[in-house]
């Protein structure tokens, strides 16, 4: 039997990289088979090394809200690259992106650029612990906050897909300072804060769960987080690495009208280049070095190429009706999926906020990690592989969000709905 180019490359990759990948979610472990090796992306499409073309709903796991190789971003990068790729000194580009970010995200006055979402979270947690002189951080089951040591506790998709209950190498003393609660559960939140509130440095939350599949906050949940943290002097951290500039220009905090103390950003803010950021009020952020004593640094932070891509991305997103358009198309796709599922008599739960969506193969409402895990992952595996054969590329896990981009066409959405029907039918038989 002939092997594909992807298979050939995967075998080579496995010799020099752990599992052949640089991020475990890229491996096809939970769906069987080998990952596709991609060589080109344009608009809403990607091409693999075997010349197969796919409609892409991964979008680099969220950043590419304007699709691949958008001309405005590519042209700006071409202009910048000839001027040097890194200086390690301040540039006007950093001011421009920071000004855009603080003007768009309601709770931000001051922002520090880093290189990934993980770094943003790590730094925000350090700041929360530093200013409160407390150790405990509260997180929610199924929320992922990057591979920060103290956050790799019940951390959702990547670990859930691979069936990793807990991560070796995390110092017990650190893990014990991370308390976890079920997402959307206000009762347990209040019980914990009644007892431990004065020892809690902060709460970190994905305001819309995105790493156990999409799980929107129930009405009152985010409000309760704001209330208990205010009362106990703990820091409320919104991890908007996925939701920032994705569900609205001002992120989930503008959608639900809640003002966190600190916000973490990533993904979309980099326009496809590695950028993360964290920020809050000037008063709080002035505790960061060089103003304050809480140290955080980065050789490539605020990198001119990365800033350039971010600036162009935010300009594109600031055009009129971008988000209305994303909403319309995402609703259309999910409505089509829903109809398919009903026609075939398959149980599924659909969760969507704006252009991030999930179809869970379960008959339960998915409101937290427990209910997400009731999904039939074996069925997902068959569905995923059948969908790939139909030319549609989604994340290889039941516990990941799908992402619509501004450049998907109505025709492509109809094509995807057809492909979804065929793939469901095939998985069902
Ligand atoms: C992706 C993600 C991260 C981690 O960002 P990286 O850039 O992969 O380090 C953190 N938090 C959330 C909510 C994410 O979706």
Residue 116, ligand 1, Cβ within 6 A:
yes
pLDDT at 157 over 80: no
Q: What is the pLDDT of residues 319-374, one digit of tens each?
A: 999 999 999 999 999 999 999 999 999 999 999 999 999 999 999 999 999 999 99
Same domain? For 23 and 55 the reply is yes
The pLDDT score that the predictor gives to residue 150 is: 85
Residue 121, ligand 1, Cβ within 6 A:
yes
Same domain? For 299 and 336 the reply is no
Give φ, ψ of 130 to 5 degrees: -65, -45
Comparing CA positions, the residue from 151, 126, 375 lying closest to residue 235 is 126
Quick one: average pLDDT of 58-78? 98
Residue 159: give its domain's CATH number.
3.40.640.10
- Strands of the sheet containing 45-48, edge to edge, are 38-42, 45-48, 53-56, 392-393
* SS3 state at 87: coil
Same domain? For 233 and 343 the reply is no
Choosing from 284, 317, 350, the residue where a domain stops is: 317
pLDDT range class, residue 16, cuts 50, 70, 90:
very high
**Cα(210) to centroid of ligand 1, in Å?**
10
Neighbours of 257 (CB within 10 A): 11
Query: What pTM was estimated for this model as a whole?
Result: 0.97
251-257 contacts, C-beta under 8 A, 24 or more apart: 251/105, 251/207, 252/207, 252/208, 252/353, 253/105, 253/106, 253/107, 253/207, 254/105, 254/106, 255/353, 255/354, 256/207, 256/217, 256/222
Same domain? For 133 and 205 the reply is yes
Neighbours of 280 (CB within 10 A): 27
Quick one: average pLDDT of 268-282? 98
Distance CA 246, CA 253 (A): 12
Count up the domains in the chain and report the number: 2
pLDDT at 116 over 70: yes
The residue among 175 and 12 whose pLDDT is bigger is: 12
Burial class from Cβ neighbours inside 10 Å (0-12, 13-18, 19+) for residue 283 reads: exposed
Distance CA 185, CA 39 (A): 43
Distance CA 189, CA 287 (A): 28
Same domain? For 99 and 219 the reply is yes
Is the Cβ–Cβ distance between 313 and 246 less than 8 Å? Answer: no
Same domain? For 297 and 415 the reply is no
Same domain? For 115 and 257 the reply is yes
Q: Measure CA 106 to chain center.
A: 20
Residue 44: give its domain's CATH number.
3.90.1150.10
Tell me which residues are annotated as active site: 144, 239, 267
Same domain? For 46 and 77 the reply is no
Residue 21 to residues 2, 28, 166, 275, 382: CA-CA distances in angstroms?
23, 10, 21, 20, 23
Same domain? For 38 and 89 the reply is no
Q: Is the dihedral of CA 141, 144, 149, 152 positive or negative?
A: positive
Choosing from 265, 294, 317, the residue where a domain stops is: 317
Choosing from 294, 317, 340, the residue where a domain stops is: 317
Same domain? For 367 and 412 the reply is yes
**Most informative mutation of 117, 137, 183, 358 for ligand 1 (most atoms within 8 A of CB):** 117
**Cα(362) to centroid of ligand 1, in Å?**
26
Same domain? For 247 and 267 the reply is yes
**Cα(52) to centroid of ligand 1, in Å?**
29
pLDDT at 316 over 60: yes
Distance CA 361, CA 349 (A): 6
Question: Which residue segment(s) compose the domain that 278 sits in?
Answer: 71-317
pLDDT at 162 over 70: no
Residue 240, ligand 1, Cβ within 6 A:
no
Same domain? For 310 and 408 the reply is no
Residue 241, ligand 1, Cβ within 6 A:
yes
Residue 282 to residues 2, 121, 216, 237, 263: CA-CA distances in angstroms?
60, 18, 30, 15, 13
């Amino acid at each position: 039997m002939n092997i594909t180019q992807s298979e050939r490359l995967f075998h080579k990759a496995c010799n020099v990289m752990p599992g052949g990948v640089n991020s475990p979610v890229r491996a096809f472990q939970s769906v069987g088979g080998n990952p596709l090796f991609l060589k080109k992306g344009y608009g809403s499409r990607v091409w693999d090394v075997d010349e197969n073309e796919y409609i892409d709903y991964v979008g680099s796991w969220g950043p590419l809200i304007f699709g691949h190789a958008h001309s405005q971003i590519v042209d700006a990068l071409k202009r910048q690259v000839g001027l040097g790729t890194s200086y390690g000194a301040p540039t006007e580009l950093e001011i421009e992106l920071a000004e855009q970010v603080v003007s768009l995200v309601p709770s931000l006055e001051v922002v520090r650029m880093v290189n990934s979402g993980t770094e943003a979270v790590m730094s925000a947690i350090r700041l929360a612990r530093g200013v409160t002189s407390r150790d405990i951080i509260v997180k929610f089951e199924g929320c992922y906050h990057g591979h920060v040591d103290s956050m790799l506790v019940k951390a959702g998709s990547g670990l859930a897909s691979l069936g990793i209950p807990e991560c070796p190498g995390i110092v017990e003393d650190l893990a014990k300072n991370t308390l976890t609660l079920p997402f959307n559960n206000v009762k347990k939140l209040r019980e914990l804060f009644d007892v431990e509130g004065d020892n809690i440095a902060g709460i970190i939350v994905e305001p819309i769960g995105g790493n156990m599949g999409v799980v929107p906050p129930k009405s009152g949940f985010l409000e309760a987080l704001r209330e208990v943290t205010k009362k106990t002097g703990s820091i409320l951290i919104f991890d908007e690495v996925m939701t920032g500039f994705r569900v609205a220009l001002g992120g989930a905090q503008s959608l639900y009208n809640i003002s966190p103390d600190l916000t973490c950003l990533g993904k979309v803010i980099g326009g496809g280049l590695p950028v993360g950021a964290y920020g809050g009020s000037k008063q709080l952020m002035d505790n960061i070095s060089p103003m304050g004593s809480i140290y955080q640094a980065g050789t490539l932070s605020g990198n001119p190429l990365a800033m350039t891509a971010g600036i162009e991305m935010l300009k594109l997103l600031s055009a009129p009706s971008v988000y209305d358009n994303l909403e319309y198309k995402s609703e259309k796709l999910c409505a089509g999926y829903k109809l398919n599922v009903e026609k075939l008599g398959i149980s599924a739960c659909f969760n969507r906020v704006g252009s991030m969506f999930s179809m869970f193969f379960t008959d339960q409402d998915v409101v937290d990690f427990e209910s997400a895990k009731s999904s039939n992952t074996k069925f997902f595996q068959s569905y995923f592989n059948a969908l790939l054969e139909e030319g549609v590329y989604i994340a290889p896990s039941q516990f990941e969000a799908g992402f619509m981009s501004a450049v998907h066409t109505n025709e492509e959405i109809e094509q995807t709905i057809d492909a979804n029907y065929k793939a469901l039918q095939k998985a069902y038989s």
